[in-house]
Amino acid sequence: MPRTYLVTGALSGIGAATTALLRRQGHTVLAADLEGGDIAADLSAPEGRAALVARARELSGGRLDAVVACAGVAHFDPVTVRINHFGAVATLEGLRPLLAAGSDPRALVVGSVDAVHPTDPAIVAAADADDETEAVAAARAAVDRGEGHLVYSSSKAAVSRWVRRAAPGDAWAGAGIALNAVAPGVVLTPLTKPLLDDPATLALVERAVPMPLHGHSRPEQLAPLVAWLTSPENALVTGQVVFADGGADAVLRGDRVW
């Protein structure tokens, strides 16, 4: 059955590969991105998040079957927590009523294996408390003391924690909406290109995200998992952060998670 999807970050990388696959499968995809696509909205700010929801309601007639929150950045800057956590949560919460009107509704956010790396507890605590002002201040403080790299891992840990808290509740599971995250390792996209092109940062990335199965991945390899988790076939998986990282999480955390 053709379904209606909304994908953010749909014009590049993982979002573009997911959009292309879903369209090949015969589904309608509302492609949202910073500029261009069906919906242009800046998810770093409340106005853009509200514009996304309003335009999605208009274009979909108030009904979506699945939402994929893929938009994200990896800057050593507070904007990273604004987009990756608050923008993603606002996308999913804002579009939840449209999903509740859809059939076999599913929602997904693209997290990261970076969530298992060290994080900044102040950023994560503020995100847990849904306090964007405090989270941005904590991110600014991390950048100022030379720990800007913690902003990305913290944003991805925070959004993963939100998925775990929200998914089993009345608003999501209670409304029949599966809500999950996928956590990629290193994917060859414009987001990682500058890091991988520089031999010094490439060596750091390879140490930080070891991928024994097949090495660095391509966005097309993530898309089938995203498509399945957001399909009607996924009747049972919810509240999960599914690592699609070539074994990075297994190397980094070993058996400690059990």
- Residues identified as active-site: 152
- Is 108 a binder of ligand NAD (CB under 6 A)? no
Q: Contact 123/82 with Cβ under 8 angstroms? A: no
Q: Contact 64/44 with Cβ under 8 angstroms? A: no
Q: Kindly write out the interface string for residues 15-34 of this chain, putting x where it contacts ligand NAD by CB under 6 A and - elsewhere.
A: x-----------------xx
- Is 44 a binder of ligand NAD (CB under 6 A)? yes
Residues 6+ apart with CB under 8 A from 111: 156, 159, 160, 163, 181, 182, 183, 241
| Binder of ligand NAD out of 105, 148, 184, 246 (CB under 6 A) | 184
| Binder of ligand NAD out of 22, 29, 39, 43 (CB under 6 A) | 43
- Is 80 a binder of ligand NAD (CB under 6 A)? no
| Shortest spacing between CB 118 and ligand NAD, in angstroms | 16
- Is 64 a binder of ligand NAD (CB under 6 A)? no
- Residue for token pair 């492609």: 31
Closer CB to ligand NAD, 42 or 147, in the complex: 42
| Binder of ligand NAD out of 4, 91, 154, 189 (CB under 6 A) | 189
